[in-house]
Amino acid sequence: MDRATAYELAKSSFSNRNLFKHVLAVEAVMRELAEYFNDDIEKWGLAGLLHDLDYEETANDPDRHTLVTEDLLKPYSLDPEIIKAIKCHNDKAPRNQLIGKAIYAADPVTGLIVAAALMHPDKKLKSLDSDFILRRFKEKRFAAGANREQILTCEDFGLSLESFLAIALRAMQRIDKELGL
């Protein structure tokens, strides 16, 4: 599956535009991480773009989340590592590969960064720096849905929290217009 096909599949999977923006953000972070680790940028990007395809369908049954996506993607004969990474972000596969560890941490960090942008006076990603995000991270009530423990698993793949936040922010700033921020 190429990125254009994945993009259209993702776009058609969400009635909520913000969910589509979320997968675009996770895709961007995953691509940036792949570049950082000198890994397959396209593969990592596809994992990010496709990771929540079934989110709306499984919202009331989170145990099925990612498993429905796995079924949806069977006709596309994707690299099995992409499917496994997708399942990793919802604990449906062990996170023993770098891509799986990365998507697990990337998923919630995008929500933290979006929330930080929205509280900033101009509501723009370009106005943020990683120190601002780090200060928001330390405020437990800020963006409470962005699981701090999950974000901190960046340390499991060799990145400090500060480095991870800087990489994620840079990735999202690159697609700020697509995200509307």
pLDDT score of 144 more than 90? yes
Mean of pLDDT over the chain: 96
Tell me what pLDDT residue 130 has: 96
DSSP structure class, residue 132: H
How far is Cα 59 from Cα 77, in angstroms, rounded to an integer?
26
Taken in order 140, 142, 144, 145, is the CA torsion positive or negative?
A: negative
- pLDDT tens, residue by residue, 18-72: 999 999 999 999 999 999 999 999 999 999 999 999 999 999 999 999 999 999 9
CATH number of 3-179: 1.10.3210
**Sequential DSSP letters for 30-58:** HHHHHHHTT--HHHHHHHHHHTTTTTTTT
* Long-range contacts, 62-65 (Cβ 8 Å, 24+): 62/90, 65/90, 65/92
